[in-house]
Amino acid sequence: MIEKTIKGIWALLIGLSVTVKFFFTRPVTMKYPEEKREPYLRYRGSHILRLDEKGKEKCVACCLCATVCPAQVITIEAGEGNEHEKYPVTFEIDMGKCIFCGYCVEACPKAAIIMSQSYELAEYRREDLSYDKERLIKTGK
């Protein structure tokens, strides 16, 4: 009986020692959202449409990204600008269905589309998950 009690207390002490040890180590969790994690450099978050030096979108609406996209979530309508250049009149990505594979970035011949490190993409309404051109440009600013 006594032997049993001692064994029990010993086991309890072992357990408590693990707990106590953690009192003195740094926590692995974060107080999200007060604190935010820095993603790694290669993290693939929501997309950015980049602008050139003149402040115009670099994208020439070649549709390669839309073609390669395995989730088929990129919608582009091309148009002719004032200097006969080709530009995307509409450029939309449905973030709700995007699988963040990054193929679009790889396909782009103009380095016009890149991925940001932003991962806070939740929305209250489904429609808001569809990012239009303005929003994709703003993400980069």
Partner 1 sequence: MNDNVTITIDGKGISVPKETTILAAARALGIEIPTLCYHPKLLPIGSCRLCLVEIEGYEKPVASCTTPVVDAMKVTTQSEKLLALRKEAIQFMLVNHPLDCPICDKGGECRLQDLAFEFGLDQEVFKIAASPLLIDYLSPLVERNNNRCVRCGRCVSVCNEIQGEMAIEWVNHGYDTEILPRGGYPLNCEFCGQCIAHCPVGALLNRPFKYKARAWELEKIHSVCPYCGGGCAIELNVRKNKVLRITSSYEDTHNQGNLCGRGNFGFGFINNNNRLHSPLIKRRKDQVPVTWEDALGSASEQLKKILKSSGPESIAGLGSPRVSNEDNYLFQKFFRAVIGTNNIDSSVHFNYRNLERGLRATLGLSASSHGFDALEKAQVIFVLGADVRAESPPAALKIMKMARVHGSTLVVANPRKTKLDKFANVHLRYRPGTELLLVAGILKAVGEKNKDLLDNIPQFPVLKKSLEGIILQEISEVTGVPLEQIYQVATILAKRETGCIVFGYEVFTHQQAKEVVVSLGNLAFLSEKVSQKDRGLIPIIAKNNVQGMLDMGVMPDLLPGYQQFEKGAPFEKVWRQPIPKQPGKNAEAILQGILDGKIKALYLMGCDPLMEFPFPDKWEEASDKLEWLAVQDIFYTEVATKADYVFPAVTFAEKEGTFTSGERRVQKFFPGISPYRSALPDWEIIQRLSQLMGYPMAYAHPKAIMNEITSLVPQYNEITYERLGRNGITLSSTEGIPHFTPFSINKVAKPKPGSFTLITGTAFFHSGTLSTNSGLTVLGSKAWVEINSEDAGSLEIHEGDPVTISSAGKAISAAAKITSAVPRGVVFVPNNFRDVQVNQLVANQNYCPVEVTKG
Contacting positions for partner 1 (CB under 8 A) = 60-64, 67, 78-80, 84-86, 109-110
Question: Residue 16: which residues within 8 A CB-CB, separation 6 or more?
Answer: none
Per DSSP, what are the bridge partners of residue 86?
Answer: 80
48 binds, among ligand SF4, partner 1, none (CB under 5 to 8 A by kind): none
67 binds, among ligand SF4, partner 1, none (CB under 5 to 8 A by kind): partner 1
Residues near ligand SF4 (CB under 6 A) are 59-65, 69-71, 73-74, 76, 93, 98-104, 107-108, 110, 112-113
Does the bond joining 109 to the residue before it have cis omega, within 30 degrees of 0?
no
Judged by beta carbon, residue 66 or residue 137, the one nearer partner 1 is 66
CA distance 108 to 104: 6
79 binds, among partner 1, ligand SF4, none (CB under 5 to 8 A by kind): partner 1
CA distance 21 to 3: 27
95 binds, among ligand SF4, partner 1, none (CB under 5 to 8 A by kind): none
Q: What token pair was written down for 126? A: 């489904």
